[in-house]
Structure 1
Amino acid sequence: MKKVSELLEVAAERAVPVIDGITDDRLGDPTPCAEYDVRALVNHLFQVVVNFQALAAKEPVEFGEAPDVVTGDWRARFGAETARLAAAWAVPGADEGTVGSMGLPARTVGNMVLGDLTVHAWDLARATGQEFAPDESVLGEIGPGLAAMAPMGREAKVFGEPHPVSDGAGPFERVLAVTGRDPGWLPPGT
């Protein structure tokens, strides 16, 4: 079993190019997350990446409204923050014990950020006309993890109701569907 930090490194290798590929003219475009346009989802993902660095260190975090970080060289900052995220989870003991106000197992919390990084990279890729496919090792970790967390996620209103998929749906399509996403979502007009 790979460490959370190793999986985060792999996930970041797939997510960073998506962020790098977002042009300024796409920041107002809709995403598969109906409540977020591209800019708001980038801000949310930054907040997640930074807050989960603190959670790896067993520090408290506040998930209020995400600040607007889409200024200056935000693309390079995203790459730097995902590197810090993986490093934070590589510290001995980061994936042990419990984390956060809910007292969840640290590995579960690590899987939460792994899932967010992966699924939101897909959201942003789909919204901006880019290709995205998660690494199989990441998918193998987040698939069962997100399925197990789905009831709690729906109760907290961070997951939608499961989206129906065909019997022939692939593993990543099933992951997207369990979070309430339509794996076939395309931007309006495409």
Structure 2
Amino acid sequence: MPTISKLLRESADVAVPVLQGVTDDQLDAATPCAEFRVGDLVNHLFQVVVNFQALARREPADFAGTPDVLGTDWRARFATETEKLIAAWSDESALEGVSPGMGLPQPAVGRMALLDLTLHPWDLAVATGRPYAPSPAAVEELLVMVGEMGPTAREWKVFGEPVPTAADADPFTRLLGQAGRDPGWRRPAAH
């Protein structure tokens, strides 16, 4: 089984180009996450990448308020912060014990970072018309996680209700559906 840091690397290699391709005129576009516009989702994903570095080190993380990074060189900063995320989870001690901030086993916390770094770039890709092909190994790992944690994640409002997918759907389509995403979501036509 690949390590969390290897899976984060594979997901980052797909995610970073998606974020770097978001143009300023797309920041107000709708996304598959009804509560987020593209700019909101960029801010949220940046917050996740930074906070999960702290969680790897068992330091406090602040998810209470989402920072606004859009007035900065966020495209380059996201790439840098993602490298720091991978480095933080590359330390073997990051996977030991229970997270003091989240009360979950550290491997589960690492998988949560992987989930955000896999799903949110898809949200941004379909919202902005960019290609997206996630890491098959990450998808395989996340299907197991979402199957185990799905009910709790829905209770915490992290996931929406499951979206039905075809029995023969590919693994990523099934993951999207299980995480409450509509795999068939398309950006609204421009007027």
Q: Same fold (TM over 0.5)?
A: yes
Equivalent pairs, count? 190
**Gap runs ≥5 in structure 1:** none
Query: What's the CA shift string for 1:117-168, capped at 9, x where partnerless?
Result: 1000100000000010111111111111122111111000110000011122
Structure 1 position 84 matched with structure 2 position 84: yes
Could you tell me which residue of structure 2 aligns to residue 95 of structure 1?
95
Q: Is the 8 A contact 2:150 2:179 kept in 1?
A: yes
Q: Is the 8 A contact 2:55 2:101 kept in 1?
A: no
Counterpart CA distance in 1 for 2:33 and 2:81 is: 22
Structure 1 position 153 matched with structure 2 position 153: yes
**Gap runs ≥5 in structure 2:** none
Counterpart CA distance in 2 for 1:109 and 1:146 is: 13
> For 1:35-50, what aligned pairs fall within 5 Å after superposition?
35-50=35-50
Higher alpha-carbon deviation: 134-143 or 31-40: 134-143
For the residue of structure 1 that corresponds to 2:95, the secondary structure is coil
Structure 1 position 21 matched with structure 2 position 21: yes
For the residue of structure 1 that corresponds to 2:92, the secondary structure is coil
Could you tell me which residue of structure 2 aligns to residue 65 of structure 1?
65
Identity across matched positions, percent: 54
Could you tell me which residue of structure 2 aligns to residue 167 of structure 1?
167
Could you tell me which residue of structure 2 aligns to residue 52 of structure 1?
52
TM-score by length of 1: 0.97
Counterpart CA distance in 2 for 1:43 and 1:186 is: 21
Could you tell me which residue of structure 2 aligns to residue 140 of structure 1?
140
Higher alpha-carbon deviation: 102-111 or 9-18: 102-111
2:178 partner amino acid:
V
1:113 partner amino acid:
A
Counterpart CA distance in 1 for 2:39 and 2:53 is: 22
Counterpart CA distance in 1 for 2:129 and 2:179 is: 21
Structure 1 position 33 matched with structure 2 position 20: no
1:65 partner amino acid:
G
Query: What's the CA shift string for 1:55-99, capped at 9, x where partnerless?
Result: 000112121120101123110000000000000001131011111
Deviation at 1:105, TM superposition (A): 0.8
Could you tell me which residue of structure 1 aligns to residue 4 of structure 2?
4
Could you tell me which residue of structure 2 aligns to residue 124 of structure 1?
124
For the residue of structure 2 that corresponds to 1:98, the secondary structure is coil
Counterpart CA distance in 1 for 2:139 and 2:164 is: 19
Could you tell me which residue of structure 2 aligns to residue 109 of structure 1?
109
Where does structure 1 differ by over 3 angstroms across 4 or more consecutive aligned residues? Answer: none
Over the aligned positions, Cα root-mean-square deviation in angstroms equals 1.1
Deviation at 1:39, TM superposition (A): 0.2
TM-score by length of 2: 0.96
Counterpart CA distance in 1 for 2:120 and 2:69 is: 16
Deviation at 1:12, TM superposition (A): 0.3
Counterpart CA distance in 1 for 2:160 and 2:96 is: 29
